[in-house]
Chains A and B, each alone.
Chain A
């Protein structure tokens, strides 16, 4: 039983290992994917796109209070833009 699981795991490992090793155009694509993910998650998300409610408030009650204030008490929400 354990031998067959180990053989199965080895086949899966080889599928991925050989697949990555034998890639041609795939190597370029993986470089693009990794660079893209680095820019998205490390640069963009970390520096420019914090989750504001998670960052500024400790728990859901505080987050709800903040949104409540924003939606029913903040006068800027009720200001109408001037007609063009």
Chain B
């Protein structure tokens, strides 16, 4: 029989691979659709063929990305049904509603408005066409809402009751799904798409400047992409701050892992850059970092918006120690206790099952009450030691720094790009700036993917926070089939990525040779 952990690990790798590839396409769809809509609005306002040409140029690239990326997310749903069938059943009632809405919204919005956007030039009124372009942007953004709400629920499961008879969670408050975690996660993801698309537009435009093709068009595009990217990035930072506060409240272990913090303190500093000690564990006395540059009070401000606040480290959380806002040491539930309570919840579920089989209503009610009391710790019952409940610290720590450092770099990037675009001939004369803009494009994707790594690696070992660890969520399948499909996906997605990049490059090269200063695009 396969080692269960081999199946778990390969299934996690497979899910990560699929999600990473899917997320290569999604943020560009979210942001480029907005940039196109703004350009078309400018066309309608000015009636200038220059804006029409710009709209069509970027709309073509949006279409390529949309066509190659569409349906790549479906693979994730296939994996739910095959690799993660226990999870699918356990959360089905919660997850099903948002995903069904997403499917319907995506289908109707895309089939209708994307078609009008591409086929409707000269066939529908300019205002109706513009409305379709904006609705394409809105549809893509709404489509992202539901999957991110579902993801947020896994990080902070609320609005449901566990039904032991159905052996699944049943939604009892739909609106609870829109928690602070969900709202911040959604906005953070969507705004980061604006920033990513801004970098993409600036990078492509700088390539045109380098080739001395359609330079006024390139500068116009840099201005629109730069402003949308800058606004997107500032909003991404704002919602990132909101996410940090929510994570502190609901996933303190993830925050501690992001920081590589084992023993917290009041007025806790944040590590701006550093190397975590790979030998450090929650129960030894090794140093946390081999090297670190700390910013005083930084983590207390980030986590609780209070420079003197206490932020617990991994060992504090494991031991159930916290300090409240009055400075008093308080006890939370230690991980050892959570494991004990989790095992009691499993016993209560077994007792419920036996009572149900013998139609003993009183015993069923008693077991159901016990289960309800212990259920918040249900997932911990699968662990033998607290080590199993701690996420991979190094990956989370470094991914967080990659995201933040690159995010800060792109703030400077947008400011410089906009400054340069508004100075006469500045960008055209400074070729090194054009090079930096072009080389920066893949780093924006790296920044975006690093954000997801923080979110998803930092919440390990949970598929559903505190309730279902990955080793319970996985199906009884063979590791051979998972390994086979992992490599199959690796090949398919790489082919799609190569197709996307090559078609885009070809199209950028071809369309940039047209005169984009007059309305000659078809």
Q: Which residues of A contact B (CB under 8 A)?
A: 11, 14-16, 18-20, 25-26, 28-30, 32-33, 36-37, 39-40, 44-45, 48-54, 60, 63-65, 67-68, 70-74, 76-81, 83
Contacts and interface: CB of A to CB of B under 8 A. Distances in A.
A52 B471 contact: no
A36 B303 CA distance: 43
Contacts of B412: none
Contacts of A72: 346, 349-350, 353
B90 A26 contact: no
B89 A19 contact: no
B238 interface: no
Contact of A64 (B119, B123, B166, B350): B166
A48 B485 CA distance: 7
Q: Which of B75, B89, B166, B387 has its CB near the most chain A CB atoms (within 10 A)?
A: B89
Contacts of A40: 71, 74-75, 78
Contacts of B71: 33, 36-37, 40
Interface string B72-112: 00110011011001101110000000000000000000000
B384 interface: yes
Interface in B363-411: 382-385, 387-388
Contact of B68 (A29, A49, A52, A79): A29
B124 interface: yes
A23 to B, nearest CB: 8
Contacts of B118: 19, 26
B88 to A, nearest CB: 7
Among A20, A39, A53, A74, the one with the most B-chain Cβ atoms within 10 Å of its Cβ is A53
Nearest to B118: A19
28 contacts: A15-B123, A16-B119, A18-B123, A19-B119, A25-B64, A32-B67, A33-B67, A40-B71, A44-B78, A44-B488, A45-B78, A48-B82, A49-B82, A50-B81, A50-B82, A51-B82, A51-B85, A52-B475, A53-B81, A64-B166, A68-B349, A70-B472, A71-B167, A77-B472, A78-B384, A79-B4, A80-B383, A80-B388
Contacts of A39: 492
A71 B86 CA distance: 8
Interface string B252-266: 000000000000000
Given A15-B119, A32-B68, A54-B81, 7 more contacts: A26-B63, A29-B68, A40-B78, A52-B82, A53-B88, A60-B166, A67-B168
B124 A64 contact: no
A45 to B, nearest CB: 6
Nearest to A21: B119
B388 A71 contact: no
B480 to A, nearest CB: 11
A73 B75 CA distance: 30
A45 B492 CA distance: 14
B317 interface: no
Contacts of B485: 44, 48-49
A50 B3 CA distance: 21
B503 A25 contact: yes
Contacts of B86: 67, 70-71
A24 to B, nearest CB: 8
A52 to B, nearest CB: 4
Given A48-B485, A70-B476, A77-B382, A29 B4 contact: no
A36 B63 CA distance: 16
Contacts of A77: 4, 382, 471-472
Contact of B382 (A28, A44, A49, A78): A78
Contacts, number: 122
A63 to B, nearest CB: 6
B5 interface: yes
B74 to A, nearest CB: 6
B124 A15 contact: yes
A64 B82 contact: no
A76 B499 contact: no
Interface in B166-195: 166-168
Contacts of A49: 78-79, 81-82, 485
Contact of B81 (A51, A78, A79, A81): A51
A54 B89 CA distance: 11
Contacts of B477: 52
B85 A71 contact: no
Nearest to A54: B81
B165 A64 contact: yes
B293 interface: no
Contacts of A80: 383-385, 388
A1 B78 CA distance: 46
Nearest to A79: B4
Report, nearest first, the 9 A-B pairs whose CB atoms are least far apart: A19-B119, A51-B81, A29-B67, A49-B78, A64-B167, A80-B384, A52-B85, A49-B82, A67-B89
B166 A53 contact: no
A11 B128 CA distance: 14
